[in-house]
Amino acid sequence: MFCDLPTSALQAFETIKYATAYPKGAVLFVEGQAPRGIFVLCKGRVKLSICGTDGKTLIVKIAEPGEVLGLGGTVSGKPYELTAETIDPCQVNFVKREDFLRFLREHAEACFKVAQQLSEKYNNACHEVRSLGLSHSAGEKLAKLLLEWSSKNAEGAKQEPRLKLALTHEEIAQMIGTSRETVTRLFADLRKRQIVHTKGSTLVIRNKAALKQIASNN
């Protein structure tokens, strides 16, 4: 988000960031915690989750390198709305809240970038609700999730994109609001119909058209 700022702003940002390496499974911040600052994800992935009143966990998204975590709470002063936990070893640049707010006051270009980022996060949240929250079945939600991942992170030929699944069936279930058993059954059905093939943590989408058909509830 800050890469294309003027040189003076970039130099100022370099002086207030703390580069930190986190192992897999490290918690950056917890839902409800007072905001300490922002976390710029440079390498690795982070799962962002919320806890419902019934105690169930819902994974909202998987953050990728380049994303700024904890931005909303840091700017507004309100508690973090999510819990952020690394799912890979991660490289993160942390900036304390008071340093970041001063940086924004002194660099209008950075302030504009933050406004853009917050607007984008809102639009993405609306898209996620529309895509997954309004889906009719767990199978439809899983198909949409796999197609979304394939559009962002797939390797190999476009006809048969290859994905590395970093999440367990339990965590995927937390993303689409169902049970681990249901996710396991859905994957077994997709394999049986030769729509996907799995080997270890690698998933190959063999029939993208069929997966799109499931996602569109046809």
For residue range 21-73, list pLDDT tens digits in order. Answer: 999 999 999 999 999 999 999 999 999 999 877 778 888 889 999 999 999 99
Mean pLDDT of 84-91: 96
What pLDDT shows up at residue 200? 85
Residue 195 has pLDDT above 90, yes or no: yes
Q: Quick check: 196 pLDDT over 80?
A: yes
The pLDDT score that the predictor gives to residue 151 is: 83
Across 169-191, average pLDDT: 92
Question: pTM score, two decimals?
Answer: 0.77
Q: Rounding to the nearest 10 degrees, give the CA dihedral for residues 196, 201, 202, 208.
A: 30
Per-residue pLDDT reduced to its tens digit, 124-175: 766 666 655 555 789 999 998 899 888 877 665 566 788 888 889 999 998 8
Q: Given this model, what pLDDT does residue 106 score?
A: 92
Domains of the chain: 7-133 (2.60.120.10), 138-215 (1.10.10.10)
Task: Quote the percentage of the chain above a pLDDT of 90.
Answer: 56
